[in-house]
Structure 1
Amino acid sequence: MSKLPIILVIDDERQSQEALRRVLGDEFQVLTASNAEEAENVLDQEMVHAILCDQRMPGMQGVDFLRNVRERWPDPVRMIISGYTASEDIIAGINEAGIYQYITKPWEPDELIRTIREGLRLWQLQNASAQASLDLKVAPAMLESQVAQKTSRLKRAHHFDRIAHAPHSPLTEAIDMASRVAAFDISVLITGESGTGKELLARAIHYNSPRGTKPFVVENCGALPDQLLESELFGCKKGAFTGAYEDRIGLFEQADGGTIFLDEIGETSPAFQVKLLRVLQEGEIRPLGARLTRKVDVRVIAATNRNLEQDVHDKHFRRDLYYRLAAFPIHIPPLRDRPDDITILTKRLLADTARNFGKTVTHLSPAAMALLSAYDWPGNVRELMNEMQRMVALAEAPIIGPELLSPRIRHRQPTASASQPQGQSLREQVDLLEARILAETLQRHHWNISRVAEELGLSRVGLRAKLARHGLERPD
């Protein structure tokens, strides 16, 4: 824009007009009107870039006026400024009047200027692009293309084939069950220890279902007290409880048409379980403080690390809610029961972490891999991910040796019964087994080279050569 952008302020209070003129006058050319008729006269004569309109005006509401503006003067960025935040007004403004922003009183000067700048930047971009409409909406064909591309990327990123596991892993059964149920609109209960990847499997179910183009929202039910959890999920009206400063749209309503993932469902109280059961039975929610209910169409995927069947037996979890949620149960086994998955997961996590950290780490030494494979991973995949991030952050060479492992892993006694990872060459498996035997023997003899060499039938020189080849170094 070669000259100051023109802002039209519409407010029936002269004091409000002057306050806005003082705040905006240094950066914008501010025109004012006290009612809809005056504003229309300005729009007929001036090339207005943005409209800042009060919601409550004599004769005509702000949303109604901007709806008319949208039809007659579609170019300006339309904004409402009001001390009232009724959700019905906001929804009408967005859906019917094409309003860019709903600004509440009292407004902060810096925030108001920033909002107008962003709106004018959008005005510039839309006028500069022949592809974009002048009504603040992308052309339908472009929008459809963008949505299709984004949906395709999400489906590829969350396809069941992207879940790392060995060919004969116990995880295969869970993935197969999830892929079968994805197409059917029924509730799923995913069980398993913390860190096993329950949310990852839930996302795969959603993005490979008929609801895959709709929202996927997540709530950790164990992190909030009942009242806040109810507000988060079902929404609330302003003033419904202490701290409810504005209307809130709940996650069930945000997920309408899509999927909601309720993690740690077993941590909810009996009182909340009753309210959730009603939502699942009736397919409708009632925000806190509201009189009317709202219909929602949401698929529920729940997850827990608890034994809900035992909790039902012990009267800690409602039986009727359990059967509503567990229409299709899926169990994810812990990582310690999936030793073949550790090598595959490690390679993928190492590559992803190195790329994200901008480091040239390429692989782990056989000794480091042997120690990782021998560890039982009580924190499951999440703990393995944290360990990979730690090692990559510390690494100063392309190959990570065992000296970078956390002490709890480096000094743990490997189990002789640990199975060998599948899908590797004979040489790789032999190297891994040799490194594991060396690491175990060294730990047992507290790195006494003479005793280790004697037990393994090696010379001291031969033993040191093998230690160097496998990158085994004595820990500090």
Structure 2
Amino acid sequence: MNNPIKPAARLPSVLVVDDEVRSQEALRRTLDEEFEVFTASSAEDAWKILERETVQVLLCDQRMPGESGVSFLKRVREQWPDVVRIIISGYTDSEDIIAGINDAGIYQYLLKPWQPDNLLMAMRNAAELHRLQAENQRLSLELRTTGPVLKKRVEMKYERVKREFGLDGLTRAPDSPLNPVCDLIAQVAPFDLSVLISGESGTGKEMIARAIHYRSRRADKAFVVENCGALPDELLEAELFGYKRGAFTGAYEDRTGLFQQADGGTLFLDEIGETSPAFQVKLLRVLQEGEFRPLGSPRPVTVDVRVIAATNRDLETEVREGRFREDLYYRLAIVPIHVPPLRERPMDIPLLAERLLEASRRALGKDTDGFTAEALACLSAYRWPGNVRELQNAILRMLALATEPRLRAHLLAPRVLQAGAAGRPDAPLDALAAVGFSGTLQERVDALEARVLKETLIRLRWNKTRAANELGLSRVGLRAKLARFGLDGGKGGDDE
């Protein structure tokens, strides 16, 4: 008998505050698959929701009638300090937001127009921060009451984190192209050398950076992350270098920058290729001298930080074309590491899918017995242009739509099904695909026909009656074609 699927646990809660209905609905559509979303059109309405609902993350627009976003978040911080506060606006509001970042305790500033992937990543990180803050409060309480017992528990948790984010956390097969990358990590991690990680978006460059950190002598110190492509220069400078009280309007107290927060540990600068030449000059000085000057400070600050940078651009080309400083490139790329895309690692996909499924179970609070063999075959055949991130989203979709204990192939998006039916990566389902097949005209037509049959049957869960109706065939005609192409065994689907 099939095991029943467990009821879903409550998703992380988000309150979206935006007076524009279209923007509010766009944010809701982007978030509601992974979050419990509340919406409000004004600060007053949002306050009422906060009084009656438990909210973990607050995403607020800066420009609203009446009270501004920064002003509202200042009030929220006083009443609900545990709520993680994110503000969203355009470049034109940068000065107002910088001035209010400290007072309002703003966790992140998102620019319009926002990108769904960037927004989701920011919200996931904010929800995780809220969870970690709550856990930290609980551990602090236990520390005061249980002392040695908790110390042992923290040590065990630290070892688990090292395993999860070290080389053991990089899922790969025995013959994976990722294995040479892991060998290189093991060689360079113990030495304080700058590392430049390159690779397509979604390949797991941050995971590589964490693996380097947790294999280094800095493993017990901070690992700090900044996405350089998400902020304009003035905000990025304030984030990384900090500022002194009075440095600009609204700077009422000192703010410690990320370089100081990472002192003794590792600072990961993602999307380094998106920075401007002016900012690159300031970053180069920090790397060369080991010191920087916070905004408004008369004296430099010295830090001991290992910098790991990442980019999805070809920085050598960027240097040749004058968009990236040559001296900074060579300073960052003492050890270059390239992460192969997922399409070059098909042998890793089944293992990676199982690991991502575990994370998806926790995220959605929904249990499953795993994938069917047919589903894993389709996952392995697709090219995954969005790499690991796209694979993770596909698995989240499958789990959310599942009504049976096991995840079946029909839950996949059509483009993934088509690749699985073709038996080769990312093959388009159209007549032109036949041109790529070898053989006579009849052999090419047969190959295309077999592919269409297989994709239709997978999508319809091998229901031959529905497949015959969709394809305009009789059941007898369909069975004859399946026997001809060796597809008559079926996959256990309902034939009624």
TM-score bin (small chain): 0.5 to 0.7
Determine the C-alpha separation between the residues in 2 that align with 1:457 and 1:226.
Answer: 64
Matches within 5 A, 1:141-180: 145=152, 148-180=155-187
Match of 1:300 in 2: 307
Alpha-carbon distance in 2 for matches of 1:397, 1:174? 38
1:173, distance to aligned residue in structure 2 (A):
1.2
In structure 1, C-alpha distance between the alignment counterparts of 2:483 and 2:252, rounded to whole Å: 75
Partner Cα distance (1:449, 1:399) in 2: 30
AA at the equivalent of 2:178: L
Specify the SS of the correspondent of 1:218.
strand
Is this contact kept in 2: 1:394–1:404, CA < 8 A?
Answer: yes
Deviations along 1:6-60, one digit per CA (max 9) or x if unpaired, are xxxxxxxxxxxxxxxxxxxxxxxxxxxxxxxxxxxxxxxxxxxxxxxxxxxxxxx
Matches within 5 A, 1:443-462: 443=455, 447=471, 453-458=479-484
- State the partner residue of 2:395: 388
CA-CA distance at 1:468 after TM superposition: 3.7
Q: Is 1:442 aligned with 2:454?
A: yes
The CA distance in 1 between the partners of 2:284 and 2:335, in whole Å, is: 17
Query: 1:189·1:326 contact (CA, 8 Å) conserved in 2?
Result: yes
How far apart are the structure 2 equivalents of 1:473 and 1:408? 25
Whether 1:232 and 2:255 are equivalent positions in the alignment is no
Unaligned runs of 5+ in 1: 1-103, 106-117, 133-140, 420-435
Equivalent residue for 2:280, pick from 273, 282, 304? 273
Do the aligned partners of 1:442 and 1:448 also contact (CA within 8 Å) in 2? no
CA RMSD of aligned residues (A): 3.5
Question: Which AA in structure 1 matches 2:349?
Answer: I
Aligned pair in 2 of structure 1 residues 166, 275: CA closer, same or farther (>3 Å)?
same
CA distance in 1, matches of 2:421, 2:320: 38
Q: Which has the higher contact order (CA 8 A, sep 6+)?
A: 2
> In structure 2, how many angstroms separate the alpha carbons of the residues matched to 1:221 and 1:297?
20
Structure 1 position 327 matched with structure 2 position 339: no
1:361 alignment partner in structure 2: 368
Kindly provide the amino acid, as one letter, of the partner of residue 454 in structure 2.
Answer: L
| Structure-2 separation of matches of 1:411 and 1:245 | 58
Distance change (3 Å), C-alpha of 1:126 and 1:334: closer
Q: Is the 8 A contact 2:191 2:216 kept in 1?
A: yes
The answer to whether the Cα contact below 8 Å between 1:413 and 1:440 also exists between their aligned partners in 2 is no
With over 3 angstroms needed to count, the CA separation of the structure-2 counterparts of 1:473 and 1:355, relative to structure 1, is: farther
Secondary structure of residue in 1 paired with 2:307: strand
Q: Matches of 2:335 and 2:401 in 1, distance apart? A: 43
Judged with a 3 Å threshold, the aligned counterparts in structure 2 of structure 1 residues 215 and 237 are, in CA distance, closer, same or farther, namely same
TM-score normalized by the length of structure 2? 0.59
Q: Distance in 1 between matches of 2:494 and 2:328?
A: 53
> Which of 284, 291, 315 is residue 284 of structure 1 equivalent to?
291
Asked if 1 retains the 8 angstrom alpha-carbon contact of 2:422 and 2:451, the reply is no
1: CA distance between counterparts of 2:336 and 2:258? 23
Q: State the Cα distance separating 1:417 from its structure 2 match.
A: 4.7
Structure 1: how far apart are the matches of 2:144 and 2:308?
44
Partners of 2:141 and 2:323 in 1: how far apart? 56
1:314-352 CA-to-partner distances (Å, cap 9, x unmatched) read 111001000110000000011011111111111222233
Q: Which has the larger displacement, 441-450 or 311-320?
A: 441-450
Q: Is the 8 A contact 2:268 2:309 kept in 1?
A: yes
* Cα-to-partner distance string for 1:240-282 (whole Å, 9 max, x where unaligned): 2355443210000000000000000000000000000000000
SS at match of 1:261: strand
Alignment gaps of 5+ in structure 2: 1-101, 104-133, 427-447, 457-466
Instruction: Assess if the C-alpha contact under 8 Å between 1:402 and 1:473 holds in 2.
Output: no
In the aligned structure 1, how far is the partner of 2:390 from the partner of 2:143?
A: 50
Q: Which residue of 2 aligns with 1:181?
A: 188
1:156 to partner: Cα distance: 1.6
Q: 2: CA distance between counterparts of 1:437 and 1:195? A: 34
Secondary structure of 2:243's aligned partner: coil
User: In the aligned structure 2, how far is the partner of 1:312 from the partner of 1:409?
Assistant: 37
SS across alignment from 2:229:
coil
**What is the DSSP-based 3-state SS (H/G/I as helix, E as strand, rest coil) of the residue aligned with 2:162?**
helix
Is 2:364–2:400's contact at 8 Å kept on the other side of the alignment?
yes
Determine which of 370, 373, 382 is the counterpart of 2:380: 373
Secondary structure of the structure 2 residue equivalent to 1:222: helix
After superposition, where does 1:74-473 map in structure 2 within 5 Å?
129=145, 145=152, 148-242=155-249, 244-412=251-419, 415-417=422-424, 441-443=453-455, 447=471, 453-458=479-484, 463=487, 466-469=489-492, 471=493
Percentage of pairs with the same residue:
54
In the alignment, residue 155 of structure 2 is paired with which amino acid?
A: A
1:439·1:472 contact (CA, 8 Å) conserved in 2? no
2:106 maps to none
In the TM superposition, residue 296 of structure 1 has moved relative to its aligned partner by 0.1
Measure how far apart 1:447 and its partner are: 4.4
CA distance 1:404–1:287, change in 2 (3 Å): same
Conserved 8 A contact 1:375-1:414: no
Q: What does the per-residue CA deviation read over 1:217-259, in whole Å, with 9 as the maximum and x for residues that have no partner?
A: 0000000000110110010123323554432100000000000
How many residue pairs get aligned? The number is: 328
Q: Distance in 2 between matches of 1:256 and 1:413?
A: 48
Separation of aligned partners in 1, 2:423 and 2:142? 66
For residues 377 and 265 of structure 1, what CA distance do their matches in structure 2 show? 24
Q: Secondary structure at the match of 2:246?
A: coil
The 3 A distance-change label for structure 1 pair 363 and 151 is closer
Amino acid at match of 2:323: H
The residue number in structure 1 matching 2:69 is none
Aligned equivalents of 1:473 and 1:255: distance in 2? 61
User: Residues 372 and 407 of structure 2 are in contact (CA less than 8 Å); yes or no, is this contact kept in structure 1?
Assistant: yes
Q: How far did 1:400 drift?
A: 1.5
> Residues 169 and 239 from structure 1, CA distance in 2 versus in 1: closer, same or farther, beyond 3 angstroms?
same
